[in-house]
A and B are shown apart, each in its own frame.
Chain A
């Protein structure tokens, strides 16, 4: 089954990226940056999440991207974007005023796959303390807001993209369109992850796994199992 891998640097929004990708009928898995699985043919692309850390922190999460960058489509979001700038010859600095909340794209590079059909002036949601002040040489700027020049960029001749804002949050109004552009037009995903396909595949797997064994399940009259929602 084809899939997208999301590499988690610990952002509060990482699960939201996963849900948005799934809503576009593309299967994805979230893995912590320090337990990243081997890449095989089923992996169509990789997304780097945001993080509560700064790329300038000595203890900030680091990862070897040599098996991924340039070989597979890659999208860096927020920390992921700054990571792609900072560790490949660009510069990230503490910003004078922290950038949280609404912003609008004031300029978009024409003719780029990631922003295909995204409207001028589209609203995006920023949440970052640092800002990128210089891109590496072979990087191409894709979009800017009034306050953030390097709001989106790509690496020349590589399917590597980066966005400073958060496409996964509700307030980035065309975030889903942008993710769809990445998943479908850049990664080539076929959008065949649906409830029906899940049911069919799972029933087949369960039959194989369980054979003629007996199984017991506790019916729980509970709406919430989710660990994050412990405080109901």
Chain B
């Protein structure tokens, strides 16, 4: 959301001198690449979509360590973005959606807080790219970014989207990432998220997703014994992401989602629900 608001602000200021780049890292939600491109084009932004799925999938092959996965995804992103950005003639500035808490954190009394998980979104880009940096939102708190987005006329469905981790589905596929696992997870995730919207639960949830576990379990479908993947559904309520509690979703809802996922997504035969709060658990599993 931050980069969207930054993009629209810049577009209002400098029009077609702004180019937006959206990279498909092969770890986005189902149909998200095209949906996002369409909505930005709809707002009149000059946006380029880059399909880099193969590169990310290749580089992630066989990597199981979560921290390594995050680093690989972050590094690949910078490489892809760097190449594409420099195709723009005479580009001088890199705009970032940095917000005020990042700025405060970087100069705070206690120094930057310990990096508990390396993050896809913070740092990395400017040093390597030799571009001047402009950060139009660096005075704003998160809730103010949303209000500014509204003042700019950005659609509520873009501003109200749940947070989604920078490394995307890459950290919701536990253990190694393969294109087939991405497909399975995208399907299951789409069913879960759509159901939250259909049942008018989406706005009551801070963040929701499906985790593809590195576990297989025995099942029976028709007369056949199956041995397939387990997914965990995760939905939490929070006001700031610092603390979170699992959402008490209705049993009927969970029953319907579980049934839909197992029946419609080939490769999944068991669905469980994560009932851990943060702390001590985290929202994401990796």
Query: Which of B93, B99, B278 contacts A215 (CB under 8 A)?
Result: B93
A10 to B120 CA separation, bound complex (whole angstroms)? 26
B77 nearest in chain A by CB position: A218
Q: Are B120 and A222 interface neighbours, CB within 8 A?
A: yes
A58 CB within 8 Å of chain B = no
- Docked CA distance A27–B100 (Å): 12
Q: List 7 A-B contacts (CB under 8 A).
A: A203-B12, A206-B134, A215-B10, A217-B3, A219-B21, A225-B99, A231-B117
Q: Which residues of A are in contact with B by a Cβ distance under 8 Å?
A: 8-10, 15, 18-19, 22, 27, 30-35, 61, 195-196, 198-199, 202-203, 206-207, 209-210, 212-232
Find chain B residues with CB under 8 A from A9 CB. 109
In the complex, A18 Cα to B151 Cα: how many Å? Answer: 21
Closest-CB distance, A96 to chain B (whole angstroms) = 29
A232 in contact with B283 (CB, 8 Å):
yes
**Contact A228:B282 (CB < 8 A) given known A19-B141, A215-B92, A217-B96:** no
Do B112 and A221 touch (CB < 8 A)? no
Please tell me if the beta carbons of A32 and B108 are within 8 angstroms of each other in the complex. Answer: yes
CB-based contact B116/A225 at 8 Å: no
Specify which chain A residues have a CB less than 8 angstroms from the CB of B28 in the assembled complex: 221
Known contacts A206-B10, A219-B36: A19-B107 contact under CB 8 Å = no
Instruction: From B158-166, B224-232, B261-269, give the one contacting chain A.
Output: B158-166
Question: Within the assembled complex, what's the spacing in Å between the Cα atoms of A96 and B111?
Answer: 32
B13 x A203 contact (CB < 8 A): yes
Closest chain-A Cβ to B147's Cβ sits at a distance in Å of 4
Query: How many angstroms between the C-alpha atoms of A220 and B2 in the bound complex?
Result: 8
Complex contacts, B282 vs chain A, CB 8 Å = 231-232
Complex contact A215–B18 (CB within 8 A): yes
Within 8 A of A (CB), among B1-23: 1-4, 6-7, 9-10, 12-14, 17-23
B194 at the interface (CB under 8 A from A): no
A29's closest neighbor in chain B, by CB?
B139
Measured between beta carbons, the chain A residues less than 8 angstroms from B51 are none
Mark B residues whose CB is within 8 Å of A.
1-4, 6-7, 9-10, 12-14, 17-23, 28-29, 32, 36, 40, 47, 77, 81, 85, 88-102, 104-110, 112-113, 115-117, 119-122, 125, 131, 134, 136, 139-144, 147-148, 150-152, 161-166, 168, 207, 240-242, 278, 282-284
Q: A206-B13, A223-B161 are in contact. List 11 more A-B contacts (CB 8 A).
A: A8-B109, A198-B144, A199-B148, A199-B152, A203-B12, A213-B93, A214-B89, A216-B20, A220-B3, A223-B163, A225-B121
- In the assembled complex, the Cα of A134 lies from the Cα of B92 at a distance in Å of 60
Are A225 and B97 also in contact (CB < 8 A) when A207-B13, A217-B20 are?
yes
Closest chain A residue, CB of each to CB of B13: A206
B134 contacts A218, C-beta separation under 8 Å: no
In the complex, are the beta carbons of A220 and B121 less than 8 A apart? yes
Nearest A residue to B32, CB-CB: A221
**A-side contacts of B136, CB under 8 Å:** 202, 206
Residues of B near A230 (CB, < 8 A) are 113, 115-117, 119
Q: Which residues of A contact B242 (CB under 8 A)?
A: 228-229
Q: 4 closest A-B pairs (Cβ-Cβ)?
A: A223-B163, A206-B13, A195-B151, A227-B105
Return A110 CB to nearest CB of chain B, in Å: 36
